[in-house]
Structure 1
Amino acid sequence: MELKMKNLLLAGVVLGSLVLTGCATCEKAEKCEKAAVKEPFGYVISTTPTPRHRFSEPYNGWHKRYDAKRKQIADAKNQIDVVFIGDSITHGWENRASMEVLKKHFPKHEILNLSHAGDRTEHQLWMAGESGFFQPSGAYKGINPKLIVVLIGTNNIGHRTAGPEATAAGIKLIVEALRKNCPEAKILLFGVFPRAQNPDHVFRGQVKEINQIICTLADGENVFYEDIAGKLLEKDGTLSKKIMPDYLHLSPAGYEIWAQAIELYVKRFAPKE
């Protein structure tokens, strides 16, 4: 009885935060409320700004990476054109083969990649400048990007059962934080990429639900939404190892598809002669 009461109290706190943060529509708000009651811990974690902790070597690497990124920001002297935020898929732009794809499409652009393998919505929410229980990252101070590319959420469902609604709520808060802290930047939000080889895998359904919610964040003026799943998948709905060797992370061919989608917006909002 005591545990049940604690869960009900926590759900009440979460629902109260929903009233304050809001959702894209009443229907989406109802979905988020159901998510909070069904999985209060998943919702709270996904929407609470949190840096990765320093208790083990992988997490030390996370902080070292962002120390290096802060140096890049200082060295760039406010010349950052495009910012990437996300998880290992976006972090993967820094692999040798995918870096060649990036240089081919954006040879003159100064790109800041604030992604890190393993990141979930709560980590990138902290990076976007929200403090929660922690001091905000400050990563966006001193930069004025023209375009911010966002792809996040797959680790929320992959690392734990956060659920589509809770994951989408975290993504929504990231977009809102970016709009607040980089008001002049345009935001290009990508639908979570399909994962798992076969279309009937549980991850596919969860990704579809997330994307059905976050697509409503686009306003056609400051926030834009793109879903390139149709270009990543085979005609029968399966994923090919040529595009995603492990059915999660992109190959150079997959990054080429993604780069083409990004390029349309870079040319529009961050053109270089």
Structure 2
Amino acid sequence: MNTDRIYSVVVPMFRTLVKGRMGAGRRRYFEAVPVPKGRVLFLGDSITAGGLWSDLFPDLPTTNRGISGEATYDLLERVDAAINDPIAVSLMIGTNDLHGPRDLRDPALIVERTDEIVRRIREAAPAALVLLNSVLPRTEHFTAQLRAVNAGYRQVAARHGAEYVDLWPAFADDSGVVKQEYTRDNLHLTPAGYLAWAEVLRPYLEAAPRS
């Protein structure tokens, strides 16, 4: 079964439910509780939201601001409120765009929106380490689009003085498909997947300037 073909059909049908009901409580919480200063901020969708970042990085002050179901156009609505003098920002976003509204799926448009997100982060936190993670591999259904998005992300990072974090060497098999030990559904991560992601991030975050 190719799960990504199913996502492409089913997710647009339930997008309003996912954003309006499943993410609403978390969004309200984020609006009510500001991000403390001096944190490593994790921004993104459900892949970020599922990370136990304080456990993965016990020596770092972390804040998880991931919301399930979000795409780049959703994060643009809230990114400004999430930035409060962070030590570092780890951003992973874009995979949900691939099965979002058809007129917003083009890789060039995903890159354009992410460029604006990174620009706003850099403008609000000029001294912070900004880590733009590559979008993770999935099934072969999205491989070409993901490669195009990530090529654009590399340029976005360079343009805004961010670090491009290429996760594909750790997560993709020889055919460019996500390694099965790291995922439970070709999209979300297993505990082993989070451990692998943390190991890629660790050298960057250990070198981040501390106040």
TM-score (norm 2): 0.81
Partner SS state of residue 91, structure 2: strand
Q: Counterpart of 1:4?
A: none
Q: What's the C-alpha RMSD, in Å, of the aligned pairs?
A: 2.5
Equivalent in the alignment of 2:65: 114
Task: Give, in angstroms, the shift of residue 233 of structure 1.
Answer: 2.0
Report Cα offsets for 1:79-126 as digits up to 9, x if no partner. x42111111111111xxxxx2xx3444113221222111101011112
Q: Which residue of 2 aligns with 1:82?
A: 40
* Aligned 1:253-268 pairs, distance under 5 A: 253-268=192-207
Within 2, Cα distance between the matches of 1:229 and 1:179?
Answer: 25
Unaligned runs of 5+ in 1: 1-52, 94-98, 130-137
Alpha-carbon contact 1:125-1:174 (below 8 Å) kept: yes
Q: How far, CA to CA, are the matches of 2:17 and 2:197 in structure 1?
A: 33
CA contact (8 A) 1:84 1:90 kept: yes
CA contact (8 A) 2:184 2:190 kept: yes
SS in 2 for 1:109: coil
Where does 1:1-273 land on structure 2 (aligned, <5 Å)?
59-73=20-34, 76=36, 78=37, 80-93=38-51, 99=52, 102-129=53-80, 138-140=81-83, 143-161=84-102, 162-196=105-139, 201-219=140-158, 222-270=161-209
Q: For the residues of structure 2 that align with 1:248 and 1:154, how far apart are their CA atoms?
A: 9
SS at match of 2:29: helix
Q: 1:91 is aligned with what amino acid? A: A
**Which residue matches 2:7?**
none
Aligned length: 195
CA contact (8 A) 2:40 2:62 kept: yes
TM-score (norm 1): 0.64
Letter in 2 for 1:185: A
Give, in whole Å, the separation in 2 of the partners of 1:240 and 1:221: 31
Which consecutive residues of structure 2, in runs of 5 or more, have no partner in the other structure? 1-14
Measure, in 1, the Cα distance between the counterparts of 2:112 and 2:43: 17
Instruction: Give structure 1 regions of 4+ aligned residues with deviation exceeding 4 angstroms.
Output: 55-58
Task: Please give the alpha-carbon distance, in whole angstroms, between the structure 1 residues aligned to 2:209 and 2:27.
Answer: 24
**Equivalent residues of 1:128, 1:181 under 8 A apart:** no
Q: Which whole-Å CA distance do the structure 1 matches of 2:130 and 2:22 have between them? A: 27
Percent identity (aligned): 26
Cα offsets for 1:132-188 (capped at 9, x unmatched) = xxxxxx333xx2101000111111112233111111111111101111122222210
Structure (1 or 2) with the larger CA radius of gyration: 1
